[in-house]
Chains A and B, each alone.
Chain A
């Protein structure tokens, strides 16, 4: 046993970088997929819509923890491939982001009246141009507060990656608590770090929401 000291804070700093890395990778890989998923959900083609709906139902019914365990422990069994923890958690959080952010964006897109698509179409611009220039900017504005809210969920959700041995902030806390036998102090610090990141984002989300409704 050792006492809590600068070495612990140092390890938190390193681990925190992995938390950030995980969030950034989940967003970088998940956001494009989320856009694809959102368009699948509103596709004109029934099979595509159905497939997306099934994926959504499955993902909504499974805890994030279970998804993580499945990717890390389950996929190697089914596919016979072993993957490093980083890869496993990135895959799991990418899927998570794609589905839930995609669903938020779908809501934003569907909140735009059909007549806006029609106005674009009647001017002779392509479907893609209608989406890119007419629908997406309006939908983005509507979906922004909820998207920031999702980001907060994602940041807190990365703590679950500790379960598969990925050393992010929470896992570093576990190790530090075990070594120093000062769990109350350690976890208070860990909690404070999460709070320091998430609280401003929550405020931002609320501010965006007010601005959005204020301008209507």
Chain B
């Protein structure tokens, strides 16, 4: 049974339909890369999976449970599904440790006494242990993003969503974040990511999904999608990213 099963998903913002019947399956352990031009609906799809957007049609099932922005139990669901944002969205009034442990403590996952240990474990995974007492404003973008990933990991999610997590970073900081994500992929985390990093999609993803005009235009293994694109739209997109 697939971990994520999306069928005929539709989503509009006022009169603008951004998802026009999207169906996608994510198996446990999959690394799914969503690629496409901006405005193609990739980020919206990701936000729908986290219940951040209300949808107008179709279904999203995660772990055989139907997901919607208004469902009861949305909170418990989100505790099992992490999302990392483009703009990091760390809590600026808390130090790194508190950022990581806030949700686990509030939801009763760990006691206050165990919180420090949990923060240390999660920060070690993203190579940020030595910054445990730092404040977000003292960190570079890449470091902030790694803390944001650690903050998700602290909830021990079974699925991680990444929404263009390297797009707001200076080019020289992109690598450190991608490396963390690669490590997570290697350890078997199920991941869905929206990315403009084509080499990452090519080398790490188990499945690449090309979105265009609110639809899934093409999908397959990285070799198939990048090596043998079937549609002119995908061909044009791939050649536009080759620089």
Q: Report the bound CA distance from A215 to B96 in whole Å.
A: 18
Taking the nearest CB of chain A, how far is it from the CB of B101, in angstroms?
A: 11
Q: Is A122 an interface residue (CB 8 A)?
A: yes
Q: Is the pair A137, B89 in contact by a Cβ cutoff of 8 Å?
A: no
Q: Is B77 an interface residue (CB 8 A)?
A: yes
Cα distance A134–B92 when bound, in Å? 9
User: A11 at interface (Cβ–Cβ under 8 A)?
Assistant: no
Q: For the complex, give the distance between the alpha carbons of A125 and B155 in Å.
A: 11
- Contact between chains at B91 and A116 (CB < 8 Å): yes
Q: Which residues does chain B contribute within 8 Å of A133, judged by CB atoms?
A: 102, 106
- Contact at A115–B89, with CB atoms within 8 Å? yes
A116 surroundings in chain B (CB, below 8 A): 89, 91
> Which residues of B lie under 8 Å from residue A115 when comparing CB positions?
85, 87, 89
CB-nearest residue of chain B relative to A133?
B102
A119 and B78 contact, CB distance less than 8 A: no
Residues in B neighbouring A110, C-beta threshold 8 A? none
Contact of A122 among B83, B92, B93 (CB under 8 A): B83
* Alpha-carbon separation in the docked complex, A106 to B223 (Å): 53
Distance A138 CA – B78 CA, assembled complex (angstroms):
24
The CA of A122 and the CA of B163, in the complex, are separated in Å by 13
Is A193's beta carbon under 8 Å from chain B? no
Evaluate contact between B92 and A123: CB separation under 8 angstroms: no
Determine how close the nearest CB of chain B comes to the CB of A209; give it in whole angstroms.
18
Judging by beta carbons under 8 Å apart, are A125 and B87 in contact? no
A141 interface residue per 8 A CB criterion: yes
Nearest CB of chain B from residue A198's CB, rounded to whole Å: 30
For residue B132, CB closer than 8 A to chain A, the reply is no
Inter-subunit contact B91/A125 (CB<8 Å)? no
**By the criterion CB–CB under 8 Å, are B75 and A124 in contact?**
yes
Number of B positions contacting A (CB below 8 A): 24
Please name all residues of chain A whose beta carbon is closer than 8 Å to the beta carbon of B89 when the two chains form the complex. 115-116, 118-119
Of A119, A124, A126, most buried by chain B (CB within 10 Å of CB) is: A124
Contact A119 B91 (CB under 8 A): yes
B109: nearest residue on chain A (CB-CB)? A124
A148-B167 Cα distance, complex, nearest whole Å: 41
| CA gap between A184 and B103 in the complex, in Å | 62
Q: Does B50 contact A (CB under 8 A)?
A: yes
Interface residues of B in 60-114 (CB under 8 A from A): 75-80, 82-83, 85, 87, 89-93, 102-103, 106-107
A156 to chain B, nearest CB (A): 32
Scoring A120, A125, A137, A141 by chain B CB atoms within 10 A of each residue's CB, the highest score goes to A125
Given known A134-B91, A137-B93, A138-B92, contact A124–B107 (CB-CB < 8 A): yes
B224 CB → nearest A CB, Å: 32
- C-alpha gap A122/B155 in the complex (Å): 11
Q: Could you say which of A123, A129, A134, A141 contacts B78, with CB atoms under 8 Å apart?
A: A123
Q: Is the CB of A123 within 8 A of B85?
A: no
Given contacts A115-B85, A119-B85, A133-B106, contact A124 B79 (CB under 8 A): yes
Are B79 and A123 within 8 A (Cβ)? Answer: yes
A118 to B78, CA, bound (A): 11
Tell me whether A125 and B83 are in contact (CB under 8 A): no
Residue in A124, A125, A138 whose beta carbon sits within 8 Å of that of B93 in the complex: A138
CB contact list, A87-107 vs B, under 8 A:
none
Which of chain B's residues have a CB closer than 8 A to the CB of A126? 75
Cβ–Cβ < 8 Å partners of A129 in chain B: 106
Q: Is the CB of B91 within 8 A of A123?
A: no
Chain B, residue nearest A141 (CB): B93
Q: Which of B87, B90, B92, B103 contacts A124 (CB 8 A)?
A: B103
- Which chain A residues border B79 with CB–CB below 8 Å? 123-124
Complex: A133 Cα to B98 Cα, angstroms: 11
Chain B residues with CB below 8 A from A121, complex form: 52, 78
Asked if B151 is at the interface of the complex by the 8 Å CB criterion, the answer is yes
Q: Which residues from chain A contact B107 at a C-beta distance below 8 Å?
A: 124-125
8 extra A-B contacts, CB within 8 A, seeds A122-B82, A125-B102: A116-B89, A121-B78, A123-B151, A124-B80, A124-B103, A124-B107, A125-B75, A125-B106
* A-binding residues in B (CB < 8 A): 50, 52, 75-80, 82-83, 85, 87, 89-93, 102-103, 106-107, 151-152, 155
